Structure 1
Amino acid sequence: MSDTSGILDGHRARKRFGQNFLTDEAVIARIVSAIAPKADDRLVEIGPGLGALTCQLIQPLTHLTVVELDRDIIPKLLARCSKQKTAHDQSSQSKLTVLEQDALTLNLEPLACEGPLRIAGNLPYNIATPLIFHLLEQSKHIIDMTFMLQKEVVDRLAAHPGNRDYGRLSLMVQAVAEVESLFVVPPTAFNPPPKVDSAIVRLVPRTHPLVPDDLKALFGELVSLAFAHRRKTLQNNLKHRLPTSTIVLAGIDPGTRAEQVSLDEFITLARLVKEQASDSPNPGK
């Protein structure tokens, strides 16, 4: 196990990068156990920071790629890895590739040229949701993703109908990936401690997304409209987009709220709206 004592080494977390450094050895070990890296995994870590997680992830790996935006932290990360030795007495630094860039612009295709990737990281809370969507757009290159996120976000990602956390984020992500909430991480595991609990989540992209490409835009539109006003019924939220009869035809009670409508039901509704639009006469012809 790598030593996390003195990991900050005088480095001050930068608020603009959303930095909260993980320092609890027991939590780090539990995260590594959840990821379970194997020698031939093509693993990409996002936001390695000062390397508390990196130095343990890299131990069994042949190679590890990390993505870090803070250029001032990279030399400290490399220095820390240079002190770590693997089981084969090889410097961790020699197995490490650092990409100095914004993860929101990360193109996975070049990294996946030899096979699909596993992705992990302690994601900055200020970019977590858009980053997950950015990565899921490239899901054909991904085996799985294990992230530490704000617990509130993990709860929303994993929520099911009838749960107060269930909403647009739940539906849009679960349509393309299986979501598993693993465990909670308290603020005391970080320096500086965040003001909220964190949680570990695993996302496994679906081989066949539940929403086909030709239905994605419409599905997204209907979900957004349905949750625009959570206290209103589905009928009221969608009344300017489609007639109540379409909701009934989809087998959904128009008087229910969106948080009660399942992913399958939203897909059925979107497919029905598309079919009705195709069957409608075109006044321009």
Structure 2
Amino acid sequence: MKPHTPRKRFGQNFLQDQGVINDIISCIHPQPNDAMVEIGPGLAALTQPLLTKINTLHAVEIDRDIVANLTGRFSADKLVIHNFDALKFDFGSLADQIAPGGQIRLVGNLPYNISTPLLFHLAGFAPQVNDCHFMLQNEVVLRMVAEPSNADYGRLSVMLQYHFHMEKLLDVPPDAFFPPPKVDSAIVRMIPRPFELQAADPAALEKLVAQAFSQRRKTLRNNLKGIVSDDDFAALDIDSSIRPENLPVRDYVRLVNYLHTPSGALQQDA
């Protein structure tokens, strides 16, 4: 079988460092009966060792040449391939199919050119996910795990931390890949979190957070003018003069719940 040429349009950088691969598998800690789904299996750097640990692996892969490569290497009862764009794939339906009443585990070296929209897409399936272990650009991972009042804290931080507990696990250098990317990489673990305070309207939360961070250097009062009044901020005891990066996730949820309460009164904490 002829070697596969990495395709820039699919953001392909293939992991090849066996030491890094072993470390990632150790972090995932796969078990035989896991309902596991790999996003972007590529040339099977993670796929092959995972298949020595689990009974069946599902994989979502957009590149038909890679699908053909994997189909020729692994039996269909061990590796079930979904030739589909992960950005449009219904992970919820797959979870219902392979883990009825349960949850799936997600793993993968995510394409760096679509990592942010893909993370937002995956967040929508959080209730049907047990955990995620993803390779991403290090700068994206730093944004994901950033705490309030940190320069990396932003829209991605708020929306993912609303759904997940997240932890950076490993740094991965460019030379662990072929071709080597121009950025450092990292492994992140994401575990869906129980809602301490649930957004009454998740879509409204996403819209509010996007507006709040539309101009990072301006205050909440300026960025949310016409949406949140001074009286609203005062009712929630939120300082409207701070910048969006200073407001914790929980306060964004409190704010959107207050705005979307029919009576206009502050909802009590759950």
Q: TM over 0.5: same fold?
A: yes
- C-alpha separation between the residues in 1 aligned to 2:111 and 2:56? 24
SS in 2 for 1:183: strand
Asked if 1 retains the 8 angstrom alpha-carbon contact of 2:258 and 2:264, the reply is no
SS in 1 for 2:106: strand
Which segment is superposed worse, 168-177 or 233-242? 233-242
Number of residue pairs matched?
Answer: 261
Asked if residue 161 in structure 1 is aligned to residue 148 in structure 2, the reply is yes
Which consecutive residues of structure 1, in runs of 5 or more, have no partner in the other structure?
1-7, 82-91, 281-285
- Of 181, 184, 188, 1:194 maps to 181
- Counterpart of 1:278 in structure 2 is 263
- C-alpha separation between the residues in 1 aligned to 2:7 and 2:187? 22
**For residues 1-12 of structure 1, what are the structure 2 equivalents within 5 Å?**
10-12=3-5
- Counterpart of 1:95 in structure 2 is 78
- Counterpart of 2:89 in structure 1 is 106
Deviation, structure 1 residue 205: 1.6
Runs of 4+ in 1 over 4 A off after TM superposition: none
The one-letter code matched in structure 2 to 1:105 is: K
Asked if residue 241 in structure 1 is aligned to residue 227 in structure 2, the reply is yes
Deviation, structure 1 residue 111: 4.1
RMSD of aligned C-alpha atoms? Answer: 2.0
SS in 2 for 1:195: coil
- C-alpha separation between the residues in 2 aligned to 1:18 and 1:216? 30
The one-letter code matched in structure 2 to 1:57 is: L
The one-letter code matched in structure 2 to 1:98 is: I
- C-alpha separation between the residues in 2 aligned to 1:93 and 1:31? 24
SS in 1 for 2:140: helix
- Counterpart of 2:112 in structure 1 is 125
- C-alpha separation between the residues in 2 aligned to 1:210 and 1:279? 18
Q: What is the TM-score of this pair, normalised by structure 1?
A: 0.85
- C-alpha separation between the residues in 1 aligned to 2:259 and 2:68? 55
Q: 1:236 to 1:182 in 2, by over 3 A?
A: same
SS in 2 for 1:51: coil
SS in 2 for 1:73: helix
- C-alpha separation between the residues in 1 aligned to 2:205 and 2:82? 35
SS in 2 for 1:67: strand
Q: 1:155 to 1:119 in 2, by over 3 A?
A: same
What is the percent sequence identity of the aligned residues?
A: 46
Which segment is superposed worse, 129-138 or 164-173? 129-138
- C-alpha separation between the residues in 2 aligned to 1:112 and 1:27? 32
Which segment is superposed worse, 15-24 or 68-77? 68-77
Which consecutive residues of structure 2, in runs of 5 or more, have no partner in the other structure?
266-270
Asked if 2 retains the 8 angstrom alpha-carbon contact of 1:177 and 1:203, the reply is yes
Q: 1:34 to 1:279 in 2, by over 3 A?
A: closer
Rg larger for:
1
Deviation, structure 1 residue 93: 6.1
Q: 1:189 to 1:9 in 2, by over 3 A?
A: farther
- C-alpha separation between the residues in 2 aligned to 1:80 and 1:209? 45
Deviation, structure 1 residue 168: 0.7
After superposition, give the CA deviation of every residue in 1:165-193 in whole Å (9 maximum; x if it has no partner): 10111111111111111111111100000
**For residues 31-180 of structure 1, what are the structure 2 equivalents within 5 Å?**
31-81=24-74, 94-108=77-91, 109-113=93-97, 114=99, 115-180=102-167
Q: 1:208 to 1:252 in 2, by over 3 A?
A: closer
- C-alpha separation between the residues in 2 aligned to 1:141 and 1:217? 18
- Counterpart of 2:8 in structure 1 is 15
After superposition, give the CA deviation of every residue in 1:209-254 in whole Å (9 maximum; x if it has no partner): 7433x33233223212211111111111112222222212211222
- Of 185, 202, 224, 1:216 maps to 202
SS in 2 for 1:34: helix
SS in 2 for 1:146: strand
Which segment is superposed worse, 135-144 or 147-156? 135-144
Which segment is superposed worse, 257-266 or 93-102? 93-102
Asked if 1 retains the 8 angstrom alpha-carbon contact of 2:143 and 2:152, the reply is yes
Q: 1:237 to 1:33 in 2, by over 3 A?
A: same
Asked if residue 185 in structure 1 is aligned to residue 166 in structure 2, the reply is no
